[in-house]
Amino acid sequence: MFRKVWTMVKRVTIRDVAREAGVSIALVSFVMNRDHRRADGSVAYRVSDETVARITEIAERLNYHPNSAASSLRSGRTRTIGVVVSDIANRFFSDIVRYIENVAYSAGYTVLCASTDEQADKLESMLSVLTNKGVDGLIIATCSGGADAVSRVVDSGLPVVLLDRDIAGLDVSRVMLDNVRAGAMGVGKLYANGYRRIELVSYDMGISSIGEREEGYRRAMREVGLQRFARIHRTTYGNVGDSVTRIVSDAVGRGVEAMIFPTNTLSLYALQAVNALGLKIPNDMAMICFDDNEVFDLYNPTIARIGQSVEMLGVRSFELLREKIECADTPSSTYIVEPQFIDGLSSAPRLTDKKHTTK
């Protein structure tokens, strides 16, 4: 009869490898973190090639895996970043997170996700959870009222990249859309196709990206001499559905010719409203949406929209973060992605005689 065997196998540590190889644990540590090769002639650690080979072979044979808690404790880094967005189930953000994940993993980082639901107190609590976990840096899409919480994190010295939404006056890197141009682009395309009464549906939240898109809209309307038609409607986050339907219905009733929906979510609610009201697009109302969603190409008619490269947003935000993490005094930089207009029938050239039939 054997004594009961301990189910959890004793973890193999750096010490076991060192003993087996007949060297010090320090040497094993150096071999495992390949940074001992004099990268640039600096006073790096030196190990003979044969020792490296021997130790790696033994580590492999013993199935050694470094304990990252111990490593983090001693070194102060976790090789983990936090990504805070408003909702990871929102396609715009899940796409970005996916790209971040890709590049982060291949750079040896893992990513902790957190969603704020656009609530500042959740943002604050997420930031505190993630910083307490000891992330090496954060990519943050802030929310309305989140400036203070983010500032505190930045002040603490943790590398931060602001994604999609800006907070003024912070010494951080940023990756965002040229929102003003994006807003103006919507007006430009519609104007060129003969629409004049162009209105915009927005939120009442204080989010830089939305605000700038509004600004772009206003500016563009002024530039083409349509400021008398410029009108921005506001919905409250959390009750967008009904709100958008009412707004669209009213606007159409008042003779609006085209509407811009400057957000992923707003756009989807807009389509819902269009269906509910039985509107014919673009005859009853033209529309330009934002971001990307499979529905835009499947809908009849296809939906014109202003997109942004989520790949660039994701990849660049990680790269900027990584620079800050791995090289302490990297200056902050800003990466602006340009909006891309993707055409669709929802903003097709206006048939000017359309309403005459009913008049």
Partner DNA sequence: GCAAGTTGCTAAAACGTTTTATAACTTTGT
Partner DNA sequence: ACAAAGTTATAAAACGTTTTAGCAACTTGC
- Please report, as ranges, the residues that interact with DNA according to CB under 7 A: 11, 13-15, 22-27, 29-30, 32-33, 45-48, 51, 64-67, 70-71, 73-75
Distance separating alpha carbons of residues 122 and 98, to the nearest angstrom: 22
Which of 293, 308, 317, 346 binds a copy of itself (CB under 8 A)? It is: 293
For a copy of itself, the binding residues in 211-270 under the rule CB under 8 A are 268
- Is residue 161 a contact partner of residue 137, using CB atoms and an 8 Å limit? yes
Per-residue b or e along 28-53, where b marks 16 or more CB atoms closer than 10 Å to that residue's CB: bbbbbeeebeeeeeeeeeebeeebbe
With CB cut-offs between 5 and 8 Å by kind, which of DNA, a copy of itself, none does residue 265 bind? none
Per-residue b or e along 122-156, where b marks 16 or more CB atoms closer than 10 Å to that residue's CB: bbbebbeebeeeebbbbbbbbbbbbbebbeebbee
Between residues 116 and 142, which has the closer beta carbon with respect to a copy of itself? 116
Between residues 23 and 126, which has the closer beta carbon with respect to DNA? 23
Is residue 88 a contact residue for a copy of itself (CB under 8 A)? Answer: yes
Distance separating alpha carbons of residues 291 and 157, to the nearest angstrom: 33
- Is residue 189 a contact partner of residue 340, using CB atoms and an 8 Å limit? no
Select the span of 99-107, 136-144, 173-181, 316-324 touching a copy of itself (CB under 8 A). Answer: 99-107
**Count of residues interacting with a copy of itself (CB under 8 A):** 51
Letter for the amino acid at 315?
Answer: V
Is residue 300 a contact residue for a copy of itself (CB under 8 A)? Answer: yes
Residues 6 or more apart whose Cβ sits within 8 Å of residue 89: 115
With CB cut-offs between 5 and 8 Å by kind, which of DNA, a copy of itself, none does residue 1 bind? none
Between residues 29 and 208, which has the closer beta carbon with respect to a copy of itself? 29
With CB cut-offs between 5 and 8 Å by kind, which of DNA, a copy of itself, none does residue 224 bind? none
Is residue 32 a contact residue for a copy of itself (CB under 8 A)? Answer: no
Between residues 52 and 112, which has the closer beta carbon with respect to DNA? 52
Residues 6 or more apart whose Cβ sits within 8 Å of residue 228: none
Between residues 37 and 280, which has the closer beta carbon with respect to a copy of itself? 280
With CB cut-offs between 5 and 8 Å by kind, which of a copy of itself, DNA, none does residue 230 bind? none
Residue appearing with tokens 């396609």: 91
Select the span of 31-39, 101-109, 190-198, 346-354 touching a copy of itself (CB under 8 A). Answer: 101-109
> Cα 16 vs. chain centroid, distance in angstroms?
43
With CB cut-offs between 5 and 8 Å by kind, which of DNA, a copy of itself, none does residue 254 bind? none
Q: How far is CA 242 from CA 41, 70, 264, 274, in A?
A: 66, 53, 17, 12
Asked if omega into 66 is within 30° of 0 (cis), the reply is no
- Is residue 359 a contact partner of residue 300, using CB atoms and an 8 Å limit? no
Which of 24, 227, 275, 283 binds a copy of itself (CB under 8 A)? It is: 275
Between residues 181 and 322, which has the closer beta carbon with respect to DNA? 322
Q: Which residues form the interface with a copy of itself (CB under 8 A)?
A: 7-9, 65-70, 72-73, 78, 80, 87-89, 91, 94-95, 97-98, 101-102, 105, 110-115, 126, 128-134, 156-157, 268, 271-272, 275, 293-295, 297-300
